[in-house]
Amino acid sequence: METILITGASRGVGLELTRQYAAGGWRVFACCRDPDTAEALHDLARQSNGAVSLHALDVDQAASVAALKVELGAQPLDVLINNAGIMGQRNARRGNVDYDAWQACLDTNVLGPTRVVEAFADNVAAGAQKKLITISSRMGSIGQTLAGDSIVYRSSKAAVNMVMKIIANDLADQGVIVVVFHPGWVRTDMGGPGADISVEESAGGIRQVIAGLSTADNGGFRNYDGGIIEW
């Protein structure tokens, strides 16, 4: 059975990825900060006949990541999806930046995925598919940015893109495929009700693209529909 670990799995795109991978016959390690309150995830786990298990993980806390590593040990992972993330200060622009909010956003969106990768890179390398995915955002593209706002969120996604590009170089000799994704503008708590696409469309597109990744794609930045995004 193919195995996948998904962070931020209690809602939004993470929950839908969990649902779709479980429906596809995968063994899913679904991680979130507080599994006890993740009702939708518990319902999904109960319906999955053991395919989905819930695990506590706060990517902001090194001790939490380390505890999950102890729990899973050397379990091979075909795919790891770093999905946990926050928007931070939505209106951040020159003159009104909340530096505490910025630091918190960087901790979750940059240090968090890095902590997870450091803990579980060997698990991914031991898997058959060896795919390490991070959900980023087109808003982290330096080449495509014309906006004068969203300093906090944009900078966090640009930073995590660089981290994953470096990790892609580092793990290439082990055959690991590291790719970052823009999930689209999705109708979630973060994206809002006026966003372009549903969680089903976003997660389905990401799953399809992940399935087709090869070592030639290592270090890439992709849209949920497979399009290549400028760094």
Query: pLDDT tens track of the chain, all 231 residues?
Result: 999 999 999 999 999 999 999 999 999 999 999 999 999 999 999 999 999 999 999 999 999 999 999 999 999 999 999 999 999 999 899 999 999 999 999 999 999 999 999 999 999 999 999 999 999 999 999 999 999 999 999 999 999 999 999 999 999 999 999 999 999 888 776 667 776 789 999 999 999 999 999 999 999 999 999 999 999
Q: List Cβ neighbours of 16 (8 Å cut-off, separation of 6 or more).
A: 199, 200, 202, 203
Q: What local confidence, expressed as pLDDT, does residue 197 receive?
A: 81
Residue pLDDT, tens place only, 62-83: 999 999 999 999 999 999 999 9
Q: What local confidence, expressed as pLDDT, does residue 99 receive?
A: 98
C-alpha pair distances (Å), 117 with each of 2, 187, 203, 229 = 19, 27, 21, 22
Q: What local confidence, expressed as pLDDT, does residue 188 receive?
A: 75
- Helix (DSSP H) and strand (DSSP E) numbers for the chain: 7, 7
Can you tell me which residue has the tokens 């505890």? 67
Q: List Cβ neighbours of 204 (8 Å cut-off, separation of 6 or more).
A: 20
Domains and CATH numbers, the chain: 3-223 (3.40.50.720)
Q: What local confidence, expressed as pLDDT, does residue 191 receive?
A: 67
Closest to 178 in 3D by CA, of 123, 231, 134: 134
Write down the pTM of the prediction: 0.96
